[in-house]
Chain A
Amino acid sequence: MISKAGSGHPAGSLGMVEVFVTLYFDILNHDPKNPDWPMRDRLILSNGHICPVLYACLAHSGYFSPKQLSSLRKFGSPLQGHPERTKLSGVEITSGPLGSGLAQAAGIALAAKMDGMRFRVFAITSDGEHNEGSHWEAIMFASKYRLTNLTQIIDRNKIQLSGNTEDIMPIEPFVEKYKSFNWHVIEINGHDFDEIKDAISQARNEYQAPTAIIANTIPGKGVSFMENRYEWHGKAPNKIETKKALKELVSHDK
């Protein structure tokens, strides 16, 4: 997808495959035939630049044809460079500019609580996004209103656009930060399906605070030359690189 588009963000998208697959095919209560179903669980993608993984899951869930995936970032395509709610079925919010997704997820979770709706809200965010002050505003708000129906899954891949997170703006001690903001925190291996599922079910049973699942991931997972390299945060592979990457990814399947 990203290679055909000629631009995009492969590292974060590949690193979050297991989390997205678990959510879309095992956890979320949703109906692709009825995308506006009021009782559906909401998946709110805050770091919108990793939308290729969102689009792939939406397509394979049945929101639209997987054939459309190759139109990513193309003129006239509903698969915009950053996701837009009004353009593609299944996309819950417009995102891309960092630091606003958790607040929107909190707004939806608050509304659900007011109305006694039992669906859950999952906010996907990134470690680099924590540079944004507005993200911390939302962290405090969710904790103040005890939004226990809100689960934040943070992609802790340790890279951001121009370098490693700890060089650009150190975030550690990450777990302690969330604890001190009165969140329930779980740290997992973001590539382990069982750990992802287990953490989400723990979050479901938390009745005091919102839950942050810090998912340690490898950016560019599955493609040797992309793994852990921030240079692949926002760069599309060329034809030769794409061939090599796909070969490696397919070999993992076997």
Chain B
Amino acid sequence: MINKTIKLSKKLNSCRDAFGKALIEAGEKDQNVVVLTADLEESTRVHYFKNRFPERFFDVGVSEQALAAIASGLANYGKTPVITSFATFSPGRNWEQIRTTICINKVPVKIVSTHAGINVGEDGATHQALEDIALMRVLPNMVVISPSDAEETRKAICAALKTKTPVYIRLPRYETKMYTTPRTPFEIGKAVCLWQGKDPKVAIMAAGPSAVKALKAAQTLSKNGIESLVLNNHTIKPIDQEAIVNAAKLTGCVVTIEDHQIKGGFGSAVAETLSELFPVPIEFIGINDSFGESGKPKELLTKFGLTAENIVEKALKAIKRKMI
């Protein structure tokens, strides 16, 4: 899809709210959907589901390990459980239960975690999950999705609930700009081309809400006579190898951006793909081997380089490296 006239709305939307409402939509269609949380009903927005379907809602208390294993049992029986917490606790604390009781056991538990990324803000380093993509994408049988806005969150939840595999969906805490519509295509495992200028010189690949910043950067680059291609890689595993390789072939260099550690994250997945199939220079934007800190989301995103300006800078650097 080529879209040069994409309009970014000024209105902010919450992925968490979209998640909570999508659960009601899914719960109405499918009696088997059950929702569990670990004492974070409102923060993860599953209280909407609780109010609508109290008989299908369970609070396990602050016990994320039991959260994963109980859900495994429910799925083993035939239910479709959705478990929610903050990403730093689930999958942070219950990784082994997810590995053994969900992934090796091969049961369709859907793990949806909010507060993923530095955008968590004021809560500080302990509550800013920057490692969850790495933790989840290393697990066989697991699908990993990082939706880029509220509408895509809704689609991701509905799509995930239809699959028979374990799925991990990471959501931000802060409100994000909505740029997709109900008509924007969404398919698990298929990256979406958001922008493609004529004869693009660099591919910007984004996972999560950073996609909007990638679009802004593409606009800035275009104004300065440099055309680019922007991919929204909402699915990190299985990664869309075809779209990534095609974009690399077309442009010859890549910038990746994610609100996560660079090591082991989305950029690493892109690098694994390209180093094997079509090596090109890659510039990575993400958190570079450090923990976060308290502050306003915008202050932190700026400090750690998750900005459109930094994408432009890294794009120019990638283009330069290609010429060496």
A residues with a Cβ closer than 8 A to B are 38, 44, 84-86, 92-97, 99-101, 103-112, 114, 133-134, 137-138, 140-141, 144-145
Q: Which residue of B lies closest to A99 (CB)?
A: B65
Of B58, B65, B73, B79, the most chain A CB neighbours within 10 A belong to B73
Contacts A111-B77, A145-B58 given; does A96 touch B100 at CB 8 Å:
yes
How long is the Cα–Cα vector from A211 to B250 in the complex, in angstroms?
65
Closest Cβ–Cβ distance, residue B98 to chain A (whole Å): 10
CB–CB A108/B73 < 8 A: yes
B70 close to A114 (CB less than 8 A): no
Cβ contact within 8 Å between A108 and B100: no
CB neighbours of A44 from chain B (8 A): 73
B138 CB–A CB distance under 8 Å: no
**Contacts of B100 on A, CB cut-off 8 Å?**
94-97, 100
Contact yes or no, A108 B76, CB < 8 A: yes
Inter-subunit contact B97/A84 (CB<8 Å): no
Residues of A within 8 A of B96 (CB): 97
Min Cβ gap B284→A in Å is: 34
Contacts of B63 in A (CB 8 A): 134, 137, 140-141
Q: Contacts A100-B65, A141-B60 hold; do A85 and B73 have CB atoms under 8 A apart?
A: no
| B65–A103 touching, CB < 8 Å | yes
With A95-B100, A97-B96, A134-B97 known to touch, is A107 a contact of B65 (CB < 8 Å)?
A: no
Q: Is B73 a contact of A103 with CB atoms below 8 Å? A: yes
Stretch at the interface among B8-16, B101-109, B115-123, B175-183: B101-109
B134 located at the interface, meaning its Cβ lies under 8 Å from any Cβ of chain A in the complex:
no
Contact B60 A107 (CB under 8 A): no
Q: In the assembled complex, which residues on chain A have CB atoms less than 8 Å from the CB atom of B73? A: 44, 93, 103-111
Residues on B with C-beta less than 8 A from A96 are: 100
Q: B78 within 8 Å of A by Cβ?
A: yes
Assuming the contacts A108-B74, A108-B77, A111-B74, asked whether A103 and B105 have C-beta atoms less than 8 A apart, the reply is: no
Min CB–CB distance A97 → chain B (angstroms): 5
In chain A, what residue has the closest Cβ to B73? A107
Contact: A110 with B70, CB < 8 Å?
yes
Inside 8 A of B97's CB, which chain A residues have their CB? 100, 103, 134
Give A108 to B34 CA distance when docked, in angstroms: 13
Q: What is the minimal beta-carbon distance from A212 to any residue of chain B, in angstroms?
A: 17
Find out whether the CB atom of A104 lies under 8 angstroms from the CB atom of B106.
no
- Bound-state Cα–Cα, A77 to B55, Å: 42
Known: A111-B79, A134-B69. 10 other contacts (CB 8 A): A44-B73, A93-B72, A93-B76, A97-B96, A106-B66, A107-B72, A110-B58, A110-B70, A111-B34, A138-B70
Given A86-B106, A138-B70, decide whether A94 and B65 contact each other with a Cβ distance below 8 A: no
B185 within 8 Å of A by Cβ? no
Q: What is the distance, in angstroms, from A15's C-beta to the closest C-beta of chain B?
A: 24
Shortest Cβ distance from A54 into chain B, in angstroms? 16
> How far does the alpha carbon of A111 sit from the alpha carbon of B31 in the complex, in Å?
12
Q: Is the CB of A133 within 8 A of B69?
A: no
User: Could you show 23 A-B contacts with beta carbons less than 8 Å apart?
Assistant: A85-B76, A85-B106, A86-B106, A93-B72, A93-B73, A94-B105, A96-B100, A100-B65, A103-B65, A103-B69, A103-B101, A104-B72, A104-B76, A107-B71, A107-B73, A109-B73, A110-B70, A111-B79, A112-B77, A134-B63, A134-B65, A141-B61, A141-B70
